[in-house]
């Protein structure tokens, strides 16, 4: 029995809102943000009526995913009523998740940290990826996503790792693979990657960055509505 049959979202005729999530704390020094913003600039020029929401995780004050929030999550899964503390915790989670749910398209700027994603992005995912909000669970068949007709664009960077570099000598990709796994579980299956990897172990860092910026700008001009 699906425990959240009501948390489905109606298909929208056109993309109206993009949520830009910055996972790097490096500000103007971030290559992943530079690539994402090349996409964003081109997108805004092509679709001036679109609404842009920017979430800078280095500046955002995220709550801890503490015991009350974990207990509230488990109560949802097991069909139990929330007590007072759990309701307060769940209301806080829902407010954060609804900002994510409200978007039609997601743009992520994500550097690789130690083979994976920055901890603030993981904290954000742990807060919003909740039963009845982003996913459901069918005992017979497993997880199913609750986000419909949405698209994600990933601007990915790493210092030493690259898809063509020997692995694990130069790193292992728990970076794009984790993001794809999470988005797929939430129901987002249309995912585009724009990579600048590696950023350090390359003979032409300026050329590599320019190629990534050009690819991002070209992608931003395309229609980002997955219904098209």
Q: Is residue 226 one of the residues assigned to a domain?
A: no
* pLDDT digits 0-9 by tens, 40-62: 999 999 999 999 999 999 999 99
Q: Is residue 227 one of the residues assigned to a domain?
A: no
Q: Is residue 175 one of the residues assigned to a domain?
A: yes
pLDDT above 70 coverage of the chain, percent: 91
Q: How far apart are CA 122 and CA 184, in angstroms?
A: 16
Q: Residue 63: how many CB atoms within 10 A of its CB?
A: 12
H/E run at residue 140: none
Q: How far apart are CA 152 and CA 108, in angstroms?
A: 8
* pLDDT digits 0-9 by tens, 86-119: 999 999 999 999 999 999 999 999 999 999 999 9
Mean pLDDT of the chain: 91
The pLDDT assigned to 223 comes to 58
* pLDDT digits 0-9 by tens, 201-213: 999 999 999 999 9
Q: How far apart are CA 148 and CA 139, in angstroms?
A: 21
Q: Is residue 105 one of the residues assigned to a domain?
A: yes
Q: Is residue 78 one of the residues assigned to a domain?
A: yes
The pLDDT assigned to 222 comes to 83
Confidence band of 148 (pLDDT split at 50, 70, 90)? very high
Question: CATH no. for residue 46?
Answer: 3.40.50.360
Q: Considering its fold, how many domains does the chain have in total?
A: 1
Q: Is residue 6 one of the residues assigned to a domain?
A: no
pTM above 0.85, yes or no: yes
- 154-161 mean pLDDT: 96
Domain, as residue range, for 37: 17-221
Q: How far apart are CA 134 and CA 128, in angstroms?
A: 7
Q: What share of the chain is helix, strand, coil (3-state, %, to 5)?
A: 40, 20, 45
Q: Is residue 178 one of the residues assigned to a domain?
A: yes
Q: pLDDT at residue 15 above 90?
A: no
Q: Is residue 129 one of the residues assigned to a domain?
A: yes
């Amino acid at each position: 029995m699906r425990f959240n049959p009501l948390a489905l979202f109606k298909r929208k005729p056109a993309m109206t809102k993009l949520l830009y999530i910055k996972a790097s704390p490096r500000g103007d020094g971030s290559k992943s943000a530079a690539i994402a913003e090349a996409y964003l600039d081109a997108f805004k020029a092509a679709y001036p009526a679109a609404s842009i929401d920017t979430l800078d995780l280095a500046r955002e004050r995220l709550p801890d995913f503490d015991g009350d929030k974990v207990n509230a999550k488990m109560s949802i899964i097991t069909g139990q009523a929330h007590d007072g503390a759990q309701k307060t915790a769940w209301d806080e989670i829902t407010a954060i998740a609804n900002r994510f749910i409200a978007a039609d398209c997601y743009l992520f700027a994500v550097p690789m940290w130690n083979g994976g994603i920055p901890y603030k992005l993981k904290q954000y995912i742990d807060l919003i990826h909740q039963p009845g909000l982003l996913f459901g669970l069918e005992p017979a068949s497993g997880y199913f996503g609750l986000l419909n007709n949405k698209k994600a664009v990933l601007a990915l960077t790493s210092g030493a790792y690259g898809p063509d570099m020997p692995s694990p000598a130069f790193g292992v990709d728990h970076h794009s693979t984790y993001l794809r796994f999470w988005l797929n579980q939430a129901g987002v299956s249309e995912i585009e990657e724009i990579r600048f990897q590696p950023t350090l172990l390359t003979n032409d860092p300026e050329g590599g960055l320019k190629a990534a910026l050009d690819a991002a700008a070209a992608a931003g001009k395309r229609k980002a509505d997955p219904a098209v």
